[in-house]
Amino acid sequence: MPNPHFFLQFRNEHVKTFNASRIRSYYNLPCVEECRYEELKGDDKNFPCNEIEEELGACWYPQEGSKRYILRGDMNATARIWLILVGSNIKPSKYLTKISRKTTLLLYLLMTN
């Protein structure tokens, strides 16, 4: 009998459900206990601007200030693929032309952790 925590019954068929631990075990990914997102999202002093530019292959607009963003068209292919996941599942957004600072940070942390 399947574990009821991981399966749903739909029309007398068992349907697998997804959660973080199932995805992690399926892909044999390490468990990351510490997420730096909450720590860094409001921290102007330690915000990894240069690291994000390097990883995503794009520059910030404008160069200074807290309302900075990155253009999707300037990002490398890998970052754009990750952005599809973030923009449709994790942090839904209608428009993904100008990527906000918080979304960019989340994207960077997912790509590098």
My answer on whether 41 and 17 are in the same domain is no
State the residue range of the domain holding 24. 1-31
Q: 14 vs 45, which has greater pLDDT? A: 45
CB 96 within 8 A of CB 71: no
My answer on whether 18 and 51 are in the same domain is no
Domain count, the chain: 2
Q: 25 vs 16, which has greater pLDDT? A: 25
My answer on whether 80 and 97 are in the same domain is yes
> How do residues 59-84 score in pLDDT, each as one tens digit?
998 877 668 899 999 999 999 988 98
Q: What is the pLDDT of residue 45?
A: 86
Q: What is the pTM of this model?
A: 0.65
> How do residues 21-54 score in pLDDT, each as one tens digit?
777 787 787 776 667 888 888 888 888 999 999 9
Question: In 54-80, which positions are buried (b, 16+ CB within 10 angstroms) versus exposed (e)?
Answer: ebbebebeeeeeeebbbebebbeeebb
The vertex-55 CA angle with 54 and 57, nearest 5°, equals 65
My answer on whether 4 and 53 are in the same domain is no
My answer on whether 13 and 48 are in the same domain is no
